[in-house]
Amino acid sequence: MKRNRATFYTLNALPGILILVVLFLIPLFFTFSYAFHDNGKALVEIFKDEYTYRLLVFTLEEALLSALISTLIAIPLASFFSKYTFPLRRTVLTLSGLSFTIPSILVVLGFVIWYGNNGLLNAFLMKITGRDYTTLQILYSFKAIILAHVYLNFPIAFLLITNAWTEMPDTPEKAAYTLGAGRARTFIHVTLPRLTPAVLSAFILIFLFCFSSFSIILVLGGNPAYSTFETEIYRRVNINVNREEAAALSIFAFFITSVMLIITSRGRKNQRATRKEKTLEKAKGKTLVVAFLLILLILLFILPPMLSIIYRAFYTKAGDFTLRAWNDIAKGSTGLMSTAMSGIINSFLIALLSSLLSVYFGSRIALASAKRNSRILPVISSMPMATGSVTLGLGFSFLAATVGHDSIYFSYILVIAAHLTIILPFAVRTITPGAKMIPDSLAAASYTLGVSAFRTMRKVEKPILSPYKRKAFAFAFALSLGEVNATLTLSDGHVSTLPILIYRMISSYNYQGAAALGTLLLAEALIVFAIGEGGRKHAIS
Amino acid sequence: MPYLEIRKLEKKYKDFTLSASFGVDEGEFLCVIGPSGSGKSTLLSLIAGLDKPDGGTVTIDGKDITKMKIQERGIGMVFQDFTLFPSMNVEKNIQFGMTEKKAEKKKISDALLSLVGLEGYAKRSVSSLSGGEAQRVQLARAIAAKPKILLLDEPLSALDAPLRKSIRSSIRAIHDALGITMIYVTHDREEAFSISDSILIMHDGKTVAMGTAEELYRHPKDLFTAFFTGEGTALPAHLVFENMEGSVFFRPENAVISEESISAEMYPMHVVFPDAEIISCEFCGSDYILGLEYQGYPLLCQSATKPRRKTVSVMILKESILNLQ
């Protein structure tokens, strides 16, 4: 009977699995065929080329450093936030969750406007110091890349570690104190071992994000010396126009990412959720002052780049109020602005369609994976993560070149297919914990009432998944909305989305236009974030 | 022929094999008891069709249902865990397995809510229910689907003692009112004694004894049943009766103590253990349970008064002593 049930869930997930595998294999097949073109000459050269290994070292270096700094800053803050309760605590934690939905191109734009040599921070510093030269030179350097990565990812580490720490009952710590252990000894021997899975999980997540970082490296690095696999593949396709080399480099990067995914997935264990959370102490006196100082520090780090985007959308560099960029968008005037409105519509429609599809198929795959307790399904659904989005975009562009179809609709289909392939693994990952929480006894109870497996899934199990599906939709929508890597590599001008327009405007120093579009993208990201956070969960006690 | 017949039902796991054979009459209230891991819940899963047996048959009213789908068996189940559907309110949960028309459904679910003592709970969210209320709703939901047999898998194990007492009485009352055949799994001997018509005892995956509570308590067929149905003392038989093999067993209430020195000749109907040392004395409300030691063997006795001496004589009525293996 259990086998029958497992088969039912597998059959239900089969269309999604097939689409995922096909969408993943097609670009990979074309990439391989280009890489092995001319007896694999390009591939041999890539493996022999010292530059490939320099790319590997740099990619590892920036990803490791970004993950390390983000985690190290997050731990002491999480320690405070998981011990005390104070006004605005929940708000700061909710705001940290925004990092999951903020597109990286907005970080790039925010950094350029806020930290740039002619940025708002420098203008402010010049005003208060009375100097007539730039005080802070951050952008277009290695430190800019790390700072942007930390900016984008430290809140993720902060949120994950704080949540895990808050959920950890503090009875073992109390037991250690009664045994005479001091605070430091208790932290090292009791707290840290229990906290390690959460810290490691945050570290790995950030490391993988930064390993495939694209727009931050491309713009904020500002120098070909700061190249990762993703940016180098893009350069070889679009600047050097050497598709064979780009394909060969993709294969190399695919190999490296696969190895890393295998290593990192082995280290991760599913943690059992504990029901008994510890009671937080109310912050008073000095602790309350510390709490407000910490909040101020976090907000001063997080808010200015984003707020500066909104400010720059309405003010000129000289500080005069203007609606020029908005008028350009509305009128569809010349240059890049002429495509702004279509970019806004494109982005919205592509994100909507691909995220709806990803949640539809993702929820079925997640249910099958949880009900079968499958090991293979999570691996299959993670496969596109190993490829990297630039490689996927490259593969789809090879497909377009092979088919020789020049229709704009075909380009749209390819972009949606690429987005779906990129976001489906995230949708599955977001929904799977929800599917795992549904006890088997719930379906069993329904069956003993004479109700069919299909109706049980529809009426009993799916409603429990809805908060996870809503979260997955928000996450997938945000990812698709902010997607630059694959879209830029694949469409190269055919399909303009908001992030691509912003990227191009930054490249052509039209910061006002970029900020106006950035404001719209930020608004969309905030709406999506609110959708993901909204709604109540159906309790399973 | 019994209404429900389990014949040579078998399920093999890596370190455990369940094999069961027994029958339940129509309208009977059978309790299945046994220690943790004895296979009680597995037995229910096999009967309900949640698990597939490796051998044997399950028949209801003469019809073999062993290979039938869960949905078609007509067997309801109340689970130990919280299995109310969180996306539906109390009323919708109860109506979920019903096939009647809407108005009829409403009438039946209201009647069932009243039967389980939860009038006015129809529109309540299931997450707002207490443990006891949730189990009552589960019971109403299972009955609403009109099962031929209702299985209850430790439904009260998560509740506190006073609540368990009250709900178990309600369950028995519902059984008596509806006349539905019920199989009730519990690890609580007292619970089984208080509500069952008959009891099935399981041990290591086997059905070891079946009978009424009185039969199993007073005339257990083996030491496991004897100890599982109540407290008692087991001693090597040769210590009490010459030429007897195996063990002898007696209940504490059949052992009387005397603080005066007595000889066996004075009480020919009794076995007498002189000079037994009192090790422990537990007050149980109406009397005392004494732990004694006689020639290195532990004995349990019941006494209405608290002994003043450390050494006493123990007398056991010979006809209450059982020879068990």
Nearest to B127 among A447, A459, A541 (CB): A541
Confidence of residue B218 (pLDDT cuts 50, 70, 90): very high
Residue B100, Cβ density class (10 Å: 0-12 exposed, 13-18 middle, ≥19 buried): middle
Confidence of residue A370 (pLDDT cuts 50, 70, 90): very high
Please give the helix or strand (H or E) that residue A447 lies within, else none.
helix A440-448
- Which chain A residue is nearest to residue B85, measuring alpha carbons? A460
* Final residue belonging to a domain, choices B209, B228, B247: B228
pLDDT of B194 reads 93
Looking at the fold, whether B18 and B56 belong to one and the same domain comes out as: yes
* Mutation target vs B (from A448, A451, A454, A541; most B CBs, 10 A cutoff): A448
Give the distance from residue A382's alpha carbon to the nearest chain B alpha carbon, in angstroms: 30
Secondary structure (3-state) at B201: strand
Token pair for B126: 């299931």
Looking at the fold, whether B240 and B309 belong to one and the same domain comes out as: yes
Confidence of residue A537 (pLDDT cuts 50, 70, 90): very low
The pTM for the full model equals 0.79
Question: Given a cut of 80, is residue A264 above it in pLDDT?
Answer: no
- Residue B256: other Cβ atoms inside 10 A: 17
DSSP type of residue A438: S
* Final residue belonging to a domain, choices B186, B203, B228: B228
Do the Cβ atoms of B83 and A442 come within 8 Å?
Answer: yes
Looking at the fold, whether B20 and B153 belong to one and the same domain comes out as: yes
Secondary structure (3-state) at B212: coil
A52 vs A168: CA distance, rounded Å: 44
Confidence of residue A489 (pLDDT cuts 50, 70, 90): confident
* Cα angle, residue A38 at apex, residues A32 and A42 outer, rounded to 5°: 65
**Sole residue written with tokens 């099958």:** A368
Do the Cβ atoms of B71 and A447 come within 8 Å?
Answer: yes
What are the structural domains of chain A?
1-27+326-541 (1.10.3720.10), 36-322 (1.10.3720.10)
A187 vs A147: CA distance, rounded Å: 29
A527 vs A308: CA distance, rounded Å: 19
Do the Cβ atoms of A460 and B141 come within 8 Å?
Answer: no
Q: Which of residues 116-135 of B touch A (CB under 8 A)?
A: 127
In this structure, are residues A506 and A112 in contact, taking their beta carbons and an 8 Å threshold? Answer: yes
Looking at the fold, whether B181 and B61 belong to one and the same domain comes out as: yes
Residue A522, Cβ density class (10 Å: 0-12 exposed, 13-18 middle, ≥19 buried): buried
| Residue A257 forms contact with B (CB below 8 Å) | no
Question: Given a cut of 50, is residue A394 above it in pLDDT?
Answer: yes
Question: Given a cut of 50, is residue A75 above it in pLDDT?
Answer: yes
Looking at the fold, whether B278 and B215 belong to one and the same domain comes out as: no
Looking at the fold, whether B218 and B258 belong to one and the same domain comes out as: no
Give the sheet arrangement for strand B322-324, strand by strand.
B233-236, B247-250, B322-324
A170 vs A71: CA distance, rounded Å: 22
Q: How many domains is chain B built from?
A: 2
Angstrom distances, CA of residue A496 to CA of A37, A299, A340, B58, B147: 31, 33, 8, 66, 61
pLDDT of A241 reads 78
* Cα angle, residue B144 at apex, residues B154 and B190 outer, rounded to 5°: 25
- Which chain B residue is nearest to residue A448, measuring alpha carbons? B76
B166 vs B150: CA distance, rounded Å: 20
pLDDT of A308 reads 95
In this structure, are residues A82 and A166 in contact, taking their beta carbons and an 8 Å threshold? Answer: yes
A59 vs A256: CA distance, rounded Å: 11
Do the Cβ atoms of B142 and A448 come within 8 Å?
Answer: yes
Looking at the fold, whether B69 and B161 belong to one and the same domain comes out as: yes
Range(s) of the domain holding residue B64: 4-228
pLDDT of A334 reads 53
* Final residue belonging to a domain, choices B193, B228, B263: B228
Looking at the fold, whether B158 and B279 belong to one and the same domain comes out as: no
Token pair for B32: 């299945």
- Which chain B residue is nearest to residue A446, measuring alpha carbons? B97
| Residue B53 forms contact with A (CB below 8 Å) | no
pLDDT of A492 reads 62
Nearest to B97 among A1, A3, A449 (CB): A449
Give the distance from residue B51's alpha carbon to the nearest chain A alpha carbon, in angstroms: 6
Dmax (CA) for chain B in angstroms is 79
A395 vs A363: CA distance, rounded Å: 26
A327 vs B177: CA distance, rounded Å: 78
Looking at the fold, whether B299 and B209 belong to one and the same domain comes out as: no
Sequence-distant (6+) residues with CB within 8 A of A520 are A344, A498
Q: B149-153 and B181-186: which strand pairing?
A: parallel
Sequence-distant (6+) residues with CB within 8 A of A325 are A313, A337, A512, A513, A515, A516
Give the distance from residue B2's alpha carbon to the nearest chain A alpha carbon, in angstroms: 22
Looking at the fold, whether B169 and B185 belong to one and the same domain comes out as: yes
pLDDT digits (tens, 9 = 90+) for A201-245: 899 889 988 998 889 998 998 788 899 988 998 888 877 778 888
pLDDT digits (tens, 9 = 90+) for B14-26: 889 999 999 999 9
pLDDT digits (tens, 9 = 90+) for B236-284: 998 888 888 889 999 999 998 998 888 888 888 899 998 899 999 999 8
Confidence of residue A538 (pLDDT cuts 50, 70, 90): very low
Secondary structure (3-state) at B314: strand
A100 vs A6: CA distance, rounded Å: 33
Looking at the fold, whether B305 and B182 belong to one and the same domain comes out as: no
Question: Given a cut of 70, is residue B80 above it in pLDDT?
Answer: yes
**Where on the phi/psi map is residue A183: left (φ > 0), alpha (ψ -120 to 50), or beta?**
alpha
**Neighboring chain A residues of B141 at a CB cutoff of 8 Å:** 445, 449
Confidence of residue A2 (pLDDT cuts 50, 70, 90): low
Looking at the fold, whether B212 and B315 belong to one and the same domain comes out as: no
A376 vs B76: CA distance, rounded Å: 35
pLDDT of A338 reads 62
Confidence of residue B325 (pLDDT cuts 50, 70, 90): confident
- Average pLDDT, rounded, for chain B: 92
pLDDT of B77 reads 93
Chain A with chain B: Cβ pairs closer than 8 A: 82
Do the Cβ atoms of B50 and A538 come within 8 Å?
Answer: no
Do the Cβ atoms of B50 and A1 come within 8 Å?
Answer: yes
CATH number for the domain spanning B302: value is 2.40.50.140
CATH number for the domain spanning B166: value is 3.40.50.300
